[in-house]
């Protein structure tokens, strides 16, 4: 079979924190009218399944391919209930809820789900004074945190960090976090939508009954982890196949790696049948060429390059290319070894997320 880049439909979320940054600033031309808080670019989540839009699998869902061709799509020997990466663009024109997502252990024990939701945000644009809130300040017990959340004094409970475009924040499951306003991000995560919030409103801005708010705070505290305080990281540059191009690893862990590629020349991606990659274009159009043909990827569009596609060339059409690339890493081979070879310290590599010593 001649495997080709897989382009997909996307799902829109109209949460209250969003506005029009995705179509107006990122340039997603086919976004619908009204609030576009999130576009789920690559999704095999059960409530938001993507459908393939072209090629031999057009009309089938991404999940169909996961079940029928896991080795060719995701990677040789891979098995799982769904595609392992969920990629999205997210508009935080307004502050996101202060919330967390279950980790793997909690997801299985409490929700009967196969895994939780570790995620990473890559900052595409933000206002000069943009910040994030992450983690829990030391010495705060359940009663003190409940009181702070009821008073909505999040700065007394959490750490606030400044943001810059190009930063990445790796957030393990169980870690409390929020960001916004005036922030546009690319997010990669495990394929899950588990979450709990300490806010007095729901995702659409509706006021919660007092007893529901209290129950949500209690549920959040029951899942809360305090082992780490995520912070923005400018990333680490790694060597690549084309010296004119820049390849920056923004975050990495057992569930995904996320990179930003700035292309001044064509990039040749070698065959790697052990893993696929997802590609999201945040700049000018690029041409994607493989042994079976050629396609284009426009601004704010995404695709999957299947594990079985073979060698691929990504050629910037406007003089430069700007891509966010995600994949399931072998941490030693794909992250630690090339970054050490580039002269980065083990401490700097560990700071990318969850990378073993």
The enclosing H or E element of 111 equals helix 104-111
Enumerate residues 6+ apart whose C-beta is below 8 A from 185: 89, 90, 92, 121, 122, 123, 124, 179
Asked if residue 228 is part of any domain, the answer here is no
Q: How far is CA 109 from the centre of its chain?
A: 24
Asked if residue 1 is part of any domain, the answer here is no
Work out the average pLDDT over 164-168: 98
pLDDT over 80 (residue 79):
yes
Nearest to 250 by CA among 240, 263, 237: 237
Domain final position from 223, 248, 282: 223
Give pLDDT, residue 319: 84
CB 238 within 8 A of CB 342: yes
Give pLDDT, residue 49: 94
For residue 153, give the DSSP letter: -
Q: Round the average pLDDT of the chain to a whole number and report it.
A: 97
CA pair distance 269, 242, nearest whole angstrom = 10
CA pair distance 183, 204, nearest whole angstrom = 18
CA pair distance 316, 321, nearest whole angstrom = 5
Query: In the block, which residue shows the tokens 């969920």?
Result: 86
Do 59 and 184 reside in the same domain of the chain?
A: yes
Which residues on adjacent β-strands are paired with residue 251?
Answer: 258
Do 84 and 109 reside in the same domain of the chain?
A: yes
CA pair distance 347, 31, nearest whole angstrom = 41
CA angle, 40 as apex, 196 and 28 as ends, to 5°? 130
Do 201 and 337 reside in the same domain of the chain?
A: no
CA pair distance 281, 156, nearest whole angstrom = 38
Using the Cα atoms of residue 104, residue 109, residue 114 and residue 117 in order, give the sign of their dihedral: negative
Half-sphere exposure of 224 (CA within 13 A, CB side): 26
Work out the average pLDDT over 90-95: 98
Give pLDDT, residue 305: 98
CATH number at residue 269: 2.60.120.10
Do 241 and 217 reside in the same domain of the chain?
A: no
CB 101 within 8 A of CB 117: yes
Do 122 and 64 reside in the same domain of the chain?
A: yes
Q: Tokens representing 99?
A: 């919330």
Asked if residue 259 is part of any domain, the answer here is yes
3-state SS assignment for residue 21: helix
Work out the average pLDDT over 58-62: 97
Could you tell me the residue range of the domain that residue 252 belongs to? 236-350
For residue 96, give the DSSP letter: P
Do 204 and 312 reside in the same domain of the chain?
A: no
Nearest to 134 by CA among 103, 188, 171: 171
Using the Cα atoms of residue 115, residue 173, residue 51 and residue 4 in order, give the sign of their dihedral: negative
Do 185 and 322 reside in the same domain of the chain?
A: no
Cβ-based burial of 137 (10 A; exposed 0-12, middle 13-18, buried ≥19): middle
Enumerate residues 6+ apart whose C-beta is below 8 A from 95: 17, 178, 179, 180, 181
pLDDT over 80 (residue 169):
yes
Give pLDDT, residue 318: 85
Do 216 and 273 reside in the same domain of the chain?
A: no
Nearest to 285 by CA among 313, 321, 259, 261: 321
Give pLDDT, residue 1: 75
Cβ-based burial of 30 (10 A; exposed 0-12, middle 13-18, buried ≥19): exposed
Render pLDDT for 2-16 as a digit per residue (tens, 0 to 9).
899 999 999 999 999
Entry pTM: 0.97
Indicate the number of domains in the chain: 2
Asked if residue 161 is part of any domain, the answer here is yes
Strand-strand pairing, 257-263 and 302-305: unpaired
Work out the average pLDDT over 176-197: 97
At 215, the pLDDT band (50, 70, 90 cuts) reads very high
Give pLDDT, residue 244: 96
């Amino acid at each position: 079979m001649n495997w080709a880049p897989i382009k997909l439909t996307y799902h829109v979320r109209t949460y209250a924190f969003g506005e029009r940054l995705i179509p107006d600033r990122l340039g997603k031309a086919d976004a619908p009218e009204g609030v576009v808080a999130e576009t789920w670019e690559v999704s095999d989540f059960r409530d938001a399944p993507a459908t393939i839009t072209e090629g031999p699998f057009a009309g089938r869902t991404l999940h169909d391919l996961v079940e029928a061709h896991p080795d060719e799509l995701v990677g040789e020997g891979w098995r799982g209930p769904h595609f392992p990466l969920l990629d999205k663009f997210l508009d935080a024109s307004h502050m996101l809820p202060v919330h967390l997502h279950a980790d793997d252990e909690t997801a299985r024990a409490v929700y009967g789900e196969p895994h939780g939701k570790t995620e990473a945000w890559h900052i595409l644009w933000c206002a000069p004074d943009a910040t994030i809130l992450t983690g829990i300040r030391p010495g705060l017990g359940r009663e003190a945190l409940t009181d702070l959340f009821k008073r909505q004094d999040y700065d007394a409970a959490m750490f606030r960090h400044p943001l810059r475009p190009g930063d990445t924040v790796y957030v393990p499951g169980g870690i409390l976090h929020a960001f916004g306003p005036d922030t546009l991000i690319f997010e990669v995560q495990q394929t899950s939508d588990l979450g709990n919030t300490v806010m007095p409103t729901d995702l659409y801005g509706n006021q919660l009954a007092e007893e529901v708010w209290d129950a949500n705070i209690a549920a959040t505290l029951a899942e809360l982890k305090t082992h780490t305080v995520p912070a923005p990281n400018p990333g680490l540059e790694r060597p690549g196949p084309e010296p004119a191009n820049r390849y920056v690893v923004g975050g990495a862990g057992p569930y995904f790696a996320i990179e930003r590629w700035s292309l001044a020349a064509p990039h040749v991606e070698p065959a790697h049948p052990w893993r696929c990659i997802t590609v999201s274009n945040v700049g000018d159009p690029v041409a994607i060429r493989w042994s079976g043909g050629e396609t284009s990827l426009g601004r704010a569009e995404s695709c999957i390059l299947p594990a079985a596609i073979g060698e691929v060339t990504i050629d910037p059409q406007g003089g430069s290319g700007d891509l966010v690339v995600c994949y399931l890493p072998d941490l030693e081979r794909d992250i630690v070894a090339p970054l050490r070879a580039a002269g980065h310290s083990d401490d700097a590599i560990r700071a990318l997320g969850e990378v073993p010593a």
